[in-house]
Amino acid sequence: MRPRAMTKLTFGAAAAATLGLLATLAPTADAHQPSGHKPELKRIGYFTQWGIYGRNFQVKDLETSGTAAKLSHINYAFGVIGSDGKCLMGNAPGSDPWADYVRPVDAATSVDGVGDTADQRLAGNFNELRELKAANPGLKVMISLGGWTGSAHFSDAVRTDAGRKTLVASCIDTYIKGNLPVDGARGGAGAAAGLFDGVDLDWEWPGSEGAPGNVIRPEDKPNFTKLVREFRTQLDAYGRSLPKAQRKHYELSAYVPTAPAKIDAGFEVAKIMRDFDFVNLQGYDFHVSGEKTTAQQSALFAKDDFSVDQTVKAWLRRGAPAHKLVVGMPFYGQGWTGVTGGGDGLGQPATGPAPATWVAGSEDYKYLKKLADSGTYKLYRGYRNGHAWLFDGTNLWTYDDPTVLRTKASYVRQNGLGGAMVWSLDGDTPDGELITAIDRGLTRR
C-alpha cells in the first residue's frame, strides 16, 4: 500500500569511494537560505491508518519505542477527497472511521494506560494521538490528504473557485474544527477539536500521471497554486477567529515529487512556497520492484539518475527556499527476485518483485534487518552515492539502514535544509533504530 510512484530513468552504477567523501560532494548551502536563518530541523513521520491491522502498529508504539520524543510532526495518512469534492469521513473508498475514532482501545494498547469507554466521543487512533501529544508537548499532528490511491478526485474538486472553497472548508470542518460524523456515542461537533495542527497535501500528481484512473488536466498546475492559497487563507482565518488564548498558526505542507517533469507539470514553485510552511520531498521509489532491472530506490547521489541531491537541487533552482525543503527517507526497501548476471546484483535483469511479508517487492526495514543479520545475504554499500542493498545471488533489496540515514541527515544539516520526513513509522524496529539514526544525524554539531 505504498502511496509513492514516479517516472523511471536508467540507473547509473554506484562509484566506490569512502564514506568520508560524502560530505565533500554535498552542495554548499543554497543562496535561497536566508542569512542567519537556523530554524529547528523538522523530524516528520507518517503514521498509516491501516498499520493497526496486519502490522499491529499502534500509536502507543511511538511512545514505547522512544520515537515520539524524536519527532516534531506526525502526518496521519490519509484523509480522503470524495467524488463530491469534499473532505468528509466515511463518504469515499479508503476512509476508515473505525480506525480513526470509533474503535475502542484497551488499557494495554492505550498511550496513557487507560482504556476507552463506551460513552466517550473520541476513541481509536485520533484519541491515542491526542494522548501522545499530551505526553510529548510540542509534538504536532497533521492530517495528510490524498496519497497514491486517494488522489483521484483532486483535479475535479479544484477546477473552480467555488469548488476549492468547498473542499478546503470541508477539510477544516472535519479535521481542524474536529466535527466528525456521529457513529453511536462517537463523533459529533468538536469531537476531534485541537487534535490536528495543520494540513499536508498529498496530491499525486497535479498535471501528471499518478495512480491509474486519476483525472489529469493541464490546468491542474495553476489550480494547485490556487488550492494552496485557499488553504492558507482559510487556515489563517480560522486560527485568528479563536479566542485570544487559543489563537494559533495552522501549518500547511505538501508531499512533492522528485522528477523534474512532474515538478514542472504541476507546481508553480516560487508561488506555492510562499504559502507552504514546508514541503516533503520524495526521497525514495526512484526505482521500484516492478521494473525489469534492479536499481537503487533512494540514493543520496546518483550519476544520470534520480537522487536526493538531484531532487533538492531541482526544487532550489525553481525558487524553493532551502529551509522549507524536508527530505523524505524510506523505512522500507524495494526488492527483486530472479536476479541474474552475478556481481553485486545492481543493474541486473530480474524476473519480478521479491517475496515479502505484506506486498511483494516492498519490505519493512525491521524485516530487512533480519535478512541482513541472517548470514544469507551480503550487505553492499554505495559509499559515494549514499545507499545500501542486500543480495543473496537471487534476491536483491535496496533500502536505507542507520548508516545511510545518518549520512542523509548530515546532508540535510550541512546544507541548510528543513529536516527529514519518513515513510512510514511502522517500518522501524521496536526500539526505533532508524528514527534514532536520523535524530543523531540532525543534531550532531
Long-range CB contact pairs, 184-189, < 8 A, 24+: 184/102, 185/118, 185/119, 185/120, 185/121, 186/101, 186/102, 186/120, 186/121, 186/122, 186/123, 187/97, 187/101, 187/102, 187/121, 187/122, 188/121
Query: 174, 108 in Cβ contact below 8 A?
Result: no
Q: What is the pLDDT of residue 25?
A: 34
Long-range CB pairs of 217-221 (<8 Å, 24+ gap) are 217/155, 217/159, 219/159, 220/154, 220/155, 220/158, 220/265, 220/266, 221/265, 221/266, 221/267, 221/268
Catalytic residue, from 63, 128, 131, 204: name it.
204
Q: Cell numbers 548470514 label which residue? A: 375
Q: What is the pLDDT of residue 32?
A: 34
Residue 205 forms part of a structural domain: yes
Cell readout for 358 is 505484506
Q: How many CB atoms lie within 10 A of CB 196?
A: 26
Cβ pair 442, 43 in contact under 8 A = yes
- Residue owning grid cell 545500501: 388
Q: What would you report as the CA-atom Rg of the chain, rounded to the nearest whole angstrom?
A: 21
At a CB cut-off of 8 Å and minimum separation 6, what does 156 contact? 83, 85, 163, 215
Residue with cell 476512509: 95
Amino acid at position 73, single letter: H
Cell of 337: 527476485
Q: How many helices (H) and strands (E) does the chain have?
A: 13, 16
3-state secondary structure 53-69: CCCCCCHHHHHHCCCHH
Rounded distance between C-alpha atoms, residue 377 and residue 35, angstroms:
47
In a structure prediction context, what are the per-residue pLDDT tens digits for the chain, which is 445 residues long? 343 333 323 223 333 333 333 333 334 333 333 333 334 899 999 999 999 999 999 999 999 999 999 999 999 999 999 999 999 888 778 899 999 999 999 999 999 999 999 999 999 999 999 999 999 999 999 999 999 999 999 999 999 999 999 999 999 999 999 999 999 999 999 999 999 999 999 999 999 999 999 999 999 999 999 999 999 999 999 999 999 999 999 999 999 999 999 999 999 999 999 999 999 999 999 999 999 999 999 999 999 999 999 999 999 999 999 999 999 999 999 999 999 999 999 999 999 999 999 999 999 999 999 999 999 999 999 988 899 999 999 999 999 999 999 999 999 999 999 999 999 999 999 999 999 999 999 997 5
Q: Which domain holds residue 131?
A: 38-331+400-443
Q: Which residues pair with 371 in a beta bridge?
A: none
pTM of the full structure: 0.92
Beta strands per DSSP E along 41-148: 42-48, 73-79, 140-146
Is 12 a domain residue? no
- Asked if residue 247 is part of any domain, the answer here is yes
User: Cell numbers 508553480 correspond to what residue?
Assistant: 268
Give me the residues paired with residue 186 across strands: 183
For residue 187, is it within any domain? yes
Is there a catalytic annotation at residue 219? no
- Give one word for 288, left, alpha or beta, with left for phi > 0 and alpha for psi -120 to 50: beta
Residue 368 lies in a domain: no
In a domain, 87, yes or no: yes
**Within 13 Å of residue 172, how many CA atoms lie on the same side as its CB?**
19
What is the spatial distance between Cα 238 and Cα 250, in angstroms, rounded to a whole number? Answer: 9
User: What are 73's strand-pairing partners?
Assistant: 44, 140
Structurally, the chain folds into a number of domains equal to: 1
Distance CA 284, CA 411 (A): 16
pLDDT of residue 445: 54
From CA 290, how far away is CA 358, in angstroms rounded?
16
CATH number at residue 203: 3.20.20.80
Task: Look up residue 315 and give its three cell numbers.
Answer: 526544487
Is 286 inside any structural domain?
Answer: yes
Determine, yes or no, domain membership for 381: no
